[in-house]
Structure 1
């Protein structure tokens, strides 16, 4: 089945990749030099003052859908729809590389920075290093990739706006839940967003080059 075009201008993809890489580099520099404490503490205070039993349940839900088995289930459902319903195959590889590559990149960066997790007002337990946030990177990469692939199949402008809004809200909610639950600093989440933005822009750029090359052959 022929896919409706979802082409993102290559120059825009490259520009996004560069801007996000610079943003991540700046956050990483602040983290390494311990210059981000005031920013982190202010955001943590503002978010954690919203603590309540209902809010805690909601934040645990968003953390849950951004990790482990729920992510695998979402990816498998998306792959089934792409392959069986929309008839795509190349897109399956794009989605797998986007999400798995993001997870691998996160593991490498955590090993490089080895930032300890916050210890104050931790509502849940989490292992491993803190920077950048794995949940934030996974959420950004997964929902950005899905939005990119589904975009061309949404016929109306309103539908596309709703698609972006929904994806953005899920990405923000999952990242915010990690701050609320006390297992990440805000700079971990922002750094994760920047790095995933860089990674996704690079993936889209390469995908469009491969797609364009196949159409000219």
Structure 2
């Protein structure tokens, strides 16, 4: 059974993430924030090194669309075919396809131009919020949560799993700034928006699991 305390905590965290996203959506155009964004981009461009460019390009590519879809299909097949589970692949699919749609909608709504400070890779489209940051925290965050929830042998290592997942997501976000394709506020806004969707998907998962358990009993 899902505890009431756990549900309340998840709802509160969802509200906090949503509030943070709304805040970034309102402040990123303010002059002081724009000054910070420009200052950060110029200083980060000063530390460009070939080795670091390769490292952060790797993290950016690791969180790209083909890898996300491949990972989703891999676990969907395991859960649906191997373990006869439908809730996990359903919620993970809602998470992935929903967050990709949301990100595109947000980009078209805000229409923020990408930075032009020593850009390392070429990319099209708008800048706010960062798709890599937004999608990574939602998809990889939910995936790690589902793995811990479904496999008892992973629960003893959940702190390490969540830490490594958070580290990976953080590096993906920073890679977008380092490679010159996003402002810091794009990434922070993306994390807030993606975190909101992640927690909504967690709530959906808990609700479906609770519903399934009630039907069994």
Do the two structures share a fold, i.e. TM-score over 0.5? yes
The answer to whether the 8 A contact 2:99-2:134 is kept is yes
Look up the match of 2:56: 59
Rounded Cα–Cα distance in structure 1 between residues aligned with 2:2 and 2:141 = 13
> Equivalent of 2:16, from 19, 30, 44?
19
1:143 is matched with which residue: 134, 140, 144?
140
Map of 1:162 onto structure 2:
160
Q: Is the 8 A contact 2:42 2:117 kept in 1?
A: no
SS in structure 2 at match of 1:9:
helix
TM-score w.r.t. the length of structure 2 is 0.90
CA spacing shift, 1:129–1:17, aligned 2, 3 Å: same
Relative to structure 2, which stretch is displaced further, 63-72 or 192-201? 63-72
Contact 2:141 / 2:165 at 8 angstroms: preserved in 1? yes
**C-alpha contact (below 8 Å) 2:119/2:180 kept by paired residues:** yes
Matches within 5 A, 1:32-181: 32-152=29-149, 153-155=151-153, 159-181=157-179
Pick closer, same or farther for the CA change 1:166–1:51 going to 2, 3 Å: same
TM-score, normalised on structure 1?
A: 0.90
Task: Mark the runs of 5 or more structure 1 residues left unpaired by the alignment.
Answer: none
Q: 2-side partners of 1:80 and 1:147: how far apart? A: 17
Q: Is the 8 A contact 1:137 1:196 kept in 2?
A: yes
Q: CA deviation at 1:20?
A: 0.4
CA contact (8 A) 1:141 1:196 kept: yes
Gaps of 5+ in 2: none
Instruction: Quote the RMSD (CA, aligned, Å).
Output: 2.0
Aligned length: 213
Equivalent pair of 1:6/1:148 in contact (CA under 8 Å):
no
Cα distance change of structure 1 residues 39 and 86 upon mapping to structure 2, 3 Å threshold: farther
* CA positional deviation for 1:50: 2.9
Q: Structure 1 or 2: larger helix share?
A: 2
